[in-house]
Amino acid sequence: MRRKRALFLAVVSTVACGVLLGATLAIGWLAFGPEDDAGAAWLTVTKVGESHYTSASPTQPTFIAIIGNDKRSGPDAGVSPGLGDALHVVGVNPVTKQATILNFPRDLEVEIPGVGSDKINAAFAYGGLPLQVETLSNLIGVPISYAVTTNFDGFINLVNEAGGVDVNIPKDLNDTNSGAVFPAGPAHLNGDQALAFARDRYDFEQGDIDRTGNQAYLMISALAQLRTNYIGPSGTLRLLAILGRNTELQGLGLREMYGLARLALAIDPAAVGNVTPPVGNGSGSNLALGSGSDAIFADFRDDGVVGAVP
């Protein structure tokens, strides 16, 4: 009898403990489980190569890939890494405080290492960020040290955090696909509007070629906004705190990010070139690099700047 009661108590207490443990785990999961997409990082900054701009060598130009992919948040996100739909390589010259953004239309046909000839943005789908960076690096012939990636939601949040961007819309835009419906002239765009402007290709004669230039123009406008909002080292620390909460850093820490942020904020937007290499028609819907692009890449390689360096 006593043995039966003891067995009964043991079973009851085991079940009770199990229920309690389960409840605790469930509460813990709800409270501290993975963040949903609303809390996802706006940006990912990845150190993809040796850093050439360091405190020990503060005069070396540095090259950074900026990649906007079309991966969406939410249940439709899927497992594909998406396509690198906005592709830019920024060269920064820390001595002259100049920079150049080289823009690459997504339909540009290039050699993708290990894959062969294909559209440049397909590299992201084939091999994610490493292959996209390698493709860009091989094409231009520069060592890329960092890659910054974002997606639609991250871009919107970034622009909103900066307080919007001031732009000059070059012409009346009325693209219902992207949502870019703006009259020509100066405008202050919030995150959603900036994304619409960055995606609009139907309103422009050269389609994607103009669009990639507009994306660089938005970056330059955002730089102007950031320089106004975050002045000096203390402002940079404030910006880093915001970025630190919303950026995934891979292979670098906040101290290295500080150096990069200071470098970027030291550059006058007027000293940033916005260059799209000449392209012509390629096979099918593909574009091909035009004559003169090699000279532009060579100019970019030596000091991170295309054009005159004083």
The site for another protein (CB under 8 A) is made up of 55-56, 58, 232-234, 237-238, 240-241, 244-245, 253-255, 258, 262
Q: Which is nearer to another protein, 148 or 187 (CB)?
A: 148
The smaller minimum CB distance to another protein, of residues 170 and 244, is found at 244
Q: Is 82 left (phi over 0), alpha (psi -120 to 50) or beta?
A: left
Sequence-distant (6+) residues with CB within 8 A of 25 are none
In the bound state with another protein, the residue whose beta carbon lies nearer, of 58 and 141, is 58
Least CB distance to another protein at residue 43 (A): 14
Q: Which two tokens stand for residue 52?
A: 């050439």
30 or 56, CB closer to another protein?
A: 56
CB-nearer residue toward another protein: 65 or 240 = 240
Extract the tokens encoding 206: 């050269």
CB of 305 to another protein, least distance (A): 17
Taking the complex as a whole, the smallest distance from the CB of residue 159 to another protein amounts, in Å, to: 21
- What's the rounded Cα separation, in Å, for the pair 191 and 182? 14
DSSP-assigned beta bridge partners for residue 139 = none
| Displacement of CA 291 from its chain's centroid (Å) | 29
Distance in Å, CB of 246 to another protein, minimum: 10
Supply the minimum distance, in Å, between the C-beta of residue 92 and another protein. 14
Q: Which amino acid does the sequence have at 217?
A: Y
> 177 vs 106, 146, 309, CA distance in Å?
18, 32, 40
Q: How far is the CB of 150 from another protein (least distance, A)?
A: 19
* Angle separating helix axes 191-199 and 208-229, nearest 10 degrees: 150
- The smaller minimum CB distance to another protein, of residues 86 and 223, is found at 223
Tell me which DSSP letter residue 286 carries.
-
Q: How far is residue 43's CA from residue 80's CA, in Å, rounded to a whole number?
A: 18
